[in-house]
Amino acid sequence: MYLSVRKELDFDLSNISIVSAIETELSTIDAIGGSVVSIKDYFSYCMNKHIIDIVYTTFTIGYSFLLDGIDKYATVPNAQIDADIFGGTNKKFTIIYLVKATATPASQKILQSSSSFMCGFSGSGAPNIFYNSNAKELRGTTVINNALGWALVTVSIDAETPANCSIYINGVSDILTINSITATTSVTIAPYSIGRRDTGANYFNGNIGFVSVIDRVLTDAENVSLYNGGYPLNPQAKFGADCKWFFNPDKAVFGGVNYTDTDVINTVTLTTVNIMEADKVADSPYIL
């Protein structure tokens, strides 16, 4: 099949409906064995095979914060998270984070408060979470490292029914180890840190595209659909009121030394520490 394009094509990948419609149409074209992974992959294939004459494309690029593993992180007041998620009676929640590690992130933290709540990576570099104490852990198997590239990780805790706990990496269910996960009435005593441990250690080294907290366990179908052909979707837009807060570097506008963000839906205030404007880089597969 020969496809001739003779005008500029401007695809805004932040518009999920447009992306979905175009990819549905492209999937009917038998150019890659009938299977189209994404718009970008399709046009790359076509240009390489000279199927398309002339294509000028403009793609929306997501931003991330590039952390150095030394002193860059963000803080969130604990009361603004505890009240709706960890301090209530539900004990069911999901933490979603999009990261690209510079190296294997052994014991590095993504979202952490005290020793009773730590979400990040195990000593081997696999996603994990300690809930209620450092003896109660949900741990995955797949190591997140530079070779993997961008990783969309979802960690779901169901303390009432631990068998419903899950970890997904790029839309694929990971093999789990569940150690003594149980319901608790209180899990935190300190403000939350993003990108480090509250004691000033275990800093994350790499890119953080976003971190989000959902006030329930995600279904298998939701975990799979969240990773949409390699372009992670906006958790706040996808899950609405169930999304309690959303750390989003795309919105970062630096008016001073650090960046402060207030979630417009749930009024959660986040403040960066030692993250400068130069640390906001155009590197993320995230769709706005």
Domain harbouring 144, CATH code: 2.60.120.200
Same domain, 80 and 196: yes
CB 235 within 8 A of CB 246: yes
Number of domains in the chain: 2
Same domain, 122 and 147: yes
State the pTM of this model.
Answer: 0.76
Same domain, 23 and 68: no
Same domain, 105 and 19: no
Domain hosting residue 13, numbered range? 9-59
Mean pLDDT by runs of 10 across the 288 residues of the chain is: 36 48 53 48 52 44 88 80 58 90 95 82 94 82 92 90 91 90 64 87 94 89 84 82 81 64 60 87 77
Rounded Cα gap, residues 252 and 128, in angstroms: 28
Q: Which two tokens stand for residue 20?
A: 């979905």
- Asked if the structure places residue 4 within a domain, the reply is no
Same domain, 111 and 219: yes
Q: Which of 42, 59, 76 is the last residue of a domain?
A: 59
Same domain, 120 and 256: yes
Same domain, 274 and 191: yes
Same domain, 127 and 175: yes
pLDDT of res. 228: 74
CB 159 within 8 A of CB 177: no
Same domain, 244 and 112: yes
pLDDT of res. 263: 56
- Asked if the structure places residue 33 within a domain, the reply is yes
Same domain, 164 and 222: yes
- Asked if the structure places residue 3 within a domain, the reply is no
> CA end-to-end span of the chain, whole Å?
33
- Asked if the structure places residue 115 within a domain, the reply is yes
Same domain, 207 and 241: yes
